[in-house]
Amino acid sequence: MRNYEKFDMARKPVQQRWFLTPVAWLLSFPETLARKLKVEKIGMEGLKPPYLFISNHMAFVDFKSATRAIFPHGANYVVAIDGFLRGEELLRQVGCICKRKFTNDVLLLRHMKYALEVNRSILALYPEARYSYCGVDSVLPDSLGKLIKLFKVPVVTYIQRGNYLSQPVWNLEKRKCRIEATMTRLFTPEQIEASSVEEINTTLRATFKYNDYRWQRENRIAIDHPRRAKGLHHILYQCPSCLAESRMNSEGDALWCEACGKRWRMGVYGELSAEVGETEFSHIPDWFDFQRGMVRKEIEKGRYFFMDRVKVDLLPNAKGFVELGEATLTHSSKGFVLESSSPEEHFKLELPPSALYSLHIEFDYFGKGDCLDLSTIDSTFYLYPLSRKNVVCKLQFAVEELYKLRSTHGVRPRKLTSRVKE
């Protein structure tokens, strides 16, 4: 694997090129106008770059929404490496900074400081590091408060609503749904100086509370898309009636368990109702949280364990994926172990629970199936389970719950070892 060209992480971010800024506006304004974007601004009077722009993350339209909100200014966006597959040089020229998900990257920290101090730009972060899986807030890293203390620039939060409903990650077909956002100057430099890291994190987490399904219900926003439930089984993988896992399926407006046969319908206001018998969870996030609780119980009782053969794609740079064949993936209370015993290329990656506070997963990624990805500083592995189906959402729960139980400050991922046959 050492023979593969790595992404040039050392290249400094540029200020968004002036001639590309109008292009970004032209790409953003039509869709945000069509979705009737309304931005409420609080305390933003007179604020100019540089400042830190921190947004929740629910769909690709987030970037277009942000572009319109910060108009007429551009920004340096921190973007995951797979985002650069859209065109590395173009993304660099519009100011994007590359990041491998859920890694501790000192070089990224330097690039962010450079964007603020030299480019005098807006630095845009999506600290949840992935799209919301069920339209509610995700875990924020503890390091966010430390970054804010270090940068000493104004902090603006951008909390969006409706973006998830308009294109949920488990079914990317667009639905008709208006979107709105609240843009708030949350901290001034003086407030940052007077606050502790813990106080900053507490305020941020209180601000990053959102629930698209509750917002939909309270505002009576009808979404009558004929396939509004298709794909919902990706995030609702465990039947609350018979407790079978990975036997859920969905199509049209229906969700059902193939083990016990129970069926639910998804209404136009996002609620679920059982066709027969008790409706265990009418609110989708409640079902989602029920599954998290079941995983937590498995871990606490020492019963949690995952193992499967996986197809491995390597993403060393923005030129595309490299197929590495198959490997064995295990996940337990000791963390992840990915190992290939191929005679052509042996590699082993070990990530203890303290190395990952969360996990990035994809559903039917590029038509290849569900996957999860694990990263080192210079490599990202996209892993597709071959035997176990509809399991990646459970893996995400397990990673987060194990981190809460076992996290130890200062522990780093074990080094990737690789032996390549010449």
The CATH number of residue 401's host domain is 2.30.29
Q: Which of 262, 284, 300 is the last residue of a domain?
A: 300
Q: Are residues 59 and 146 part of one domain? A: yes
pLDDT at 341: 74
In-domain check, residue 208: yes
Q: Place 414 in a pLDDT band, splitting at 50, 70 and 90.
A: very low
* Cα–Cα dist 411/355, whole Å: 7
pLDDT at 408: 44
Measuring CA to CA, which residue among 206, 233, 234 is closest to residue 137? 206
* Cα–Cα dist 324/365, whole Å: 17
Measuring CA to CA, which residue among 62, 66, 85, 86 is closest to residue 75? 66
pLDDT at 1: 56
Count: domains in the chain:
3
Q: Are residues 187 and 139 part of one domain? A: yes
* Cα–Cα dist 281/270, whole Å: 12
The number of beta carbons lying within 10 Å of the beta carbon of residue 187 is 23
Provide the residue count of the chain: 422
pLDDT tens-digit readout, 2-49 = 677 888 889 999 998 888 888 888 889 999 999 999 999 999 999 999
In-domain check, residue 8: no
In-domain check, residue 65: yes
In-domain check, residue 337: yes
Does the predicted TM-score (pTM) go above 0.85? yes
Query: What are the strands of the beta sheet with 51-55, ordered from one edge?
Result: 38-42, 180-187, 155-161, 51-55, 122-125, 75-80, 97-99
Mean pLDDT of the chain: 92
**Half-sphere exposure at residue 358, Cβ-oriented, CA atoms within 13 angstroms:** 18
In-domain check, residue 129: yes
Whether the ω angle into residue 72 lies within 30 degrees of 0, i.e. cis, is yes
Q: Are residues 136 and 208 part of one domain? A: yes
The number of beta carbons lying within 10 Å of the beta carbon of residue 81 is 21
Q: Are residues 157 and 28 part of one domain? A: yes
Q: Are residues 173 and 32 part of one domain? A: yes
Which residues span the domain enclosing 285?
232-300
Q: Are residues 161 and 36 part of one domain? A: yes
* Cα–Cα dist 351/416, whole Å: 9
In-domain check, residue 162: yes
CB 193 within 8 A of CB 254: no
pLDDT at 411: 40
pLDDT at 377: 86
Q: What is the mean pLDDT of residues 292-314?
A: 97
In-domain check, residue 207: yes
Q: Are residues 285 and 379 part of one domain? A: no
pLDDT tens-digit readout, 255-278 = 999 999 999 999 999 999 999 999
Q: Which of 272, 300, 328 is the last residue of a domain?
A: 300
**Is residue 384 pLDDT above 80, yes or no?**
yes
CA dihedral 297, 298, 302, 303 (to 10 degrees): 160
pLDDT tens-digit readout, 210-221 = 999 999 999 999
Q: Which of 192, 218, 244 is the last residue of a domain?
A: 218
Strands (DSSP E) found in 177-289: 180-187, 248-251, 254-257, 263-266, 272-274
pLDDT tens-digit readout, 147-204 = 999 999 999 999 999 999 999 999 999 999 999 999 999 999 999 999 999 999 999 9
pLDDT tens-digit readout, 97-156 = 999 988 888 899 999 999 999 999 999 999 998 899 999 999 899 899 999 999 999 999
CA 334 to chain centre: 23
- The SS3 of residue 95 is coil
Cα distances (Å, whole numbers) of residue 347 to 244, 326, 421: 34, 11, 11
Q: Are residues 400 and 293 part of one domain? A: no
Q: Are residues 112 and 260 part of one domain? A: no
Q: Are residues 402 and 314 part of one domain? A: yes
pLDDT tens-digit readout, 320-331 = 999 999 999 999
Q: Which residue is it, tokens 């304004």?
A: 29
User: Which distant-in-sequence residues (6+ apart) come within 8 Å of 332 by Cβ?
Assistant: 304, 305, 306
In-domain check, residue 261: yes
Q: Are residues 330 and 397 part of one domain? A: yes
Q: Please give the share of the chain, as a percent, with pLDDT higher than 70.
A: 95
- The SS3 of residue 88 is helix
**Is residue 406 pLDDT above 90, yes or no?**
no
pLDDT tens-digit readout, 46-81 = 999 999 999 999 999 999 999 999 999 999 999 999
308, with CB counted inside 10 A (0-12, 13-18, 19+), is: middle
Beta strand pairing call for 97-99 and 75-80: parallel
* Cα–Cα dist 26/400, whole Å: 39
- The SS3 of residue 353 is helix
pLDDT at 2: 60
Q: Which helix (H) or strand (E) holds 290?
A: helix 284-300
* Cα–Cα dist 405/400, whole Å: 9
* Cα–Cα dist 417/229, whole Å: 43
Q: Are residues 259 and 175 part of one domain? A: no
* Cα–Cα dist 374/327, whole Å: 13
Q: Which helix (H) or strand (E) holds 107?
A: helix 106-117
**Is residue 228 pLDDT above 50, yes or no?**
yes
